[in-house]
Amino acid sequence: MNKRIIAITACPTGVAHTFMAAEALTVAATKQGDWIKVETHGSVGAKNELTSDEIATADVVIIAADIDVDLSRFTGKRLYRTSTGAALKKPALEISQALTAATLYGEEGKIQAPSLKAELPAVYKHLMTGVSHMLPLVVAGGLCIALSFVFGIQAFKEPGTLAAALMQIGGKAAFALMVPVLAGFIAFSIADRPGLAPGLIGGMLASNSGAGFLGGIVAGFLAGYVAKYMVEKIRLPQVMDALKPVLVIPLLATMITGLVIIYVVGGPVSAAMMGLTTFLSGMTTANAMLLGILLGAMQCFDLGGPVNKAAYTFGVGLLASQSYQPMAAIMAAGMVPALGMGVTTWLAKAKFSQQEREAGKASFVLGLCFISEGAIPFAARDPMRVIPSTMAGGALAGGLSMFFGCTLMAPHGGLFVLAIPHAVGHVAMYLISIIAGTALTGVMYAVLKPAAQLQIAES
Mode of pairing for the β-strands spanning 424-425 and 407-408: antiparallel
Which whole number is the average pLDDT over 361-378? 90
With 70 as the cut, is the pLDDT of residue 456 above it? no
**Helix/strand/coil for 243:** helix
Exposure pattern of 164-181 as b/e (b: 16+ CB <10 Å)? bebbebbbeebbbbbbbb
With 90 as the cut, is the pLDDT of residue 79 above it? yes
pLDDT of the residue at 110: 42
Instruction: Tell me whether residue 110 is in a domain.
Output: no
Active-site positions read 11
Please check whether residues 141 and 22 belong to one and the same domain. Answer: no
**Contact yes or no for 57/38 (Cβ under 8 A):** no
Mode of pairing for the β-strands spanning 407-408 and 60-65: unpaired
Residue 230 to residue 191: CA distance in whole angstroms: 10
Please check whether residues 232 and 314 belong to one and the same domain. Answer: no
Residue 369 to residue 359: CA distance in whole angstroms: 16
pLDDT of the residue at 244: 84
Domain boundary among 221, 252, 281: 281
| Range scoring the smallest mean pLDDT among 297-311, 404-418, 445-459 | 445-459
What are phi and psi for residue 42, nearest 5 degrees? -90, -170
With 80 as the cut, is the pLDDT of residue 454 above it? no
With 50 as the cut, is the pLDDT of residue 107 above it? no
Instruction: Tell me whether residue 357 is in a domain.
Output: yes
With 50 as the cut, is the pLDDT of residue 171 above it? yes
Please check whether residues 289 and 273 belong to one and the same domain. Answer: no
With 80 as the cut, is the pLDDT of residue 205 above it? yes
Please check whether residues 38 and 128 belong to one and the same domain. Answer: no
Please check whether residues 353 and 204 belong to one and the same domain. Answer: no
* Residue 210 burial (C-beta neighbours within 10 Å; 0-12, 13-18, 19+): middle
Please check whether residues 175 and 90 belong to one and the same domain. Answer: no
User: What are the DSSP calls for 286-314, one per residue?
Assistant: HHHHHHHHHHHHHHTTSSSSHHHHHHHHH
Residue ranges of alpha helices (H) inside 114-154 are 116-148
Domain boundary among 235, 251, 281: 281
**Helix/strand/coil for 316:** helix
Q: What are the angstrom distances between the C-alpha of 240 and each of 101, 166, 436?
A: 40, 47, 65
pLDDT of the residue at 320: 77
Output the average pLDDT for the chain.
Answer: 88
Q: What are the angstrom distances between the C-alpha of 245 and each of 184, 186, 195, 197, 452?
A: 16, 18, 10, 11, 64
C-alpha dihedral, 261 to 266 to 268 to 274, nearest 10°? 150
Please check whether residues 338 and 269 belong to one and the same domain. Answer: no
Residue 287 to residue 198: CA distance in whole angstroms: 38
Residue 81 to residue 103: CA distance in whole angstroms: 9
| Range scoring the smallest mean pLDDT among 32-36, 206-210, 283-287 | 283-287
Residue 353 to residue 357: CA distance in whole angstroms: 6
What's the first-to-final CA gap in the chain, in angstroms?
A: 33
> What's the domain range around 68?
4-104
What's the structural domain count of the chain?
3
pLDDT of the residue at 111: 39
With 90 as the cut, is the pLDDT of residue 16 above it? no
Residue 340 to residue 363: CA distance in whole angstroms: 8
Give the type of residue at 124.
Y
| Range scoring the smallest mean pLDDT among 28-37, 114-123, 204-213, 444-453 | 114-123
Residue pLDDT, tens place only, 222-272? 999 999 999 888 888 887 778 888 889 999 999 999 999 999 988 899 898
Residue pLDDT, tens place only, 122-165? 888 899 889 889 988 988 888 888 888 888 778 888 898 999 99
Which whole number is the average pLDDT over 207-229? 93
**Contact yes or no for 34/6 (Cβ under 8 A):** no
Please check whether residues 258 and 351 belong to one and the same domain. Answer: no
SS3 content of the chain, % helix, strand, coil (to 5): 70, 10, 20
| Range scoring the smallest mean pLDDT among 114-118, 162-166, 196-200, 227-231 | 114-118
Q: How many Cα atoms sit within 13 Å of 343 on the Cβ side?
A: 26
Q: DSSP letter for 116, please.
A: H
- 32: CATH: 3.40.50.2300
Residue 387 to residue 301: CA distance in whole angstroms: 6
Please check whether residues 266 and 343 belong to one and the same domain. Answer: no
pLDDT of the residue at 306: 83
Exposure pattern of 254-276 as b/e (b: 16+ CB <10 Å)? bebbbebbeeebbeebbeebeeb
Please check whether residues 328 and 373 belong to one and the same domain. Answer: yes
Residue 54 to residue 132: CA distance in whole angstroms: 28
Give the type of residue at 90.
K
pLDDT of the residue at 67: 85
pLDDT of the residue at 97: 93
Which whole number is the average pLDDT over 439-455? 82
pLDDT of the residue at 120: 66
pLDDT of the residue at 321: 77
Domain boundary among 230, 257, 281: 281
**Helix/strand/coil for 4:** strand
Q: How many Cα atoms sit within 13 Å of 455 on the Cβ side?
A: 3
**Contact yes or no for 146/410 (Cβ under 8 A):** yes
Instruction: Tell me whether residue 192 is in a domain.
Output: yes
**CA 27 to chain centroid:** 25
Please check whether residues 337 and 253 belong to one and the same domain. Answer: no
Residue 178 to residue 60: CA distance in whole angstroms: 37
Residue 376 to residue 382: CA distance in whole angstroms: 10
Please check whether residues 440 and 420 belong to one and the same domain. Answer: yes
What are phi and psi for residue 288, nearest 5 degrees? -60, -45
**CA 276 to chain centroid:** 22
For residue 108, give the nearest of 209, 226, 194, 170 by alpha carbon. 194
Residue 287 to residue 278: CA distance in whole angstroms: 13
- Model confidence at 1, pLDDT cuts 50, 70, 90, reads low
With 50 as the cut, is the pLDDT of residue 94 above it? yes
Mode of pairing for the β-strands spanning 60-65 and 78-82: parallel
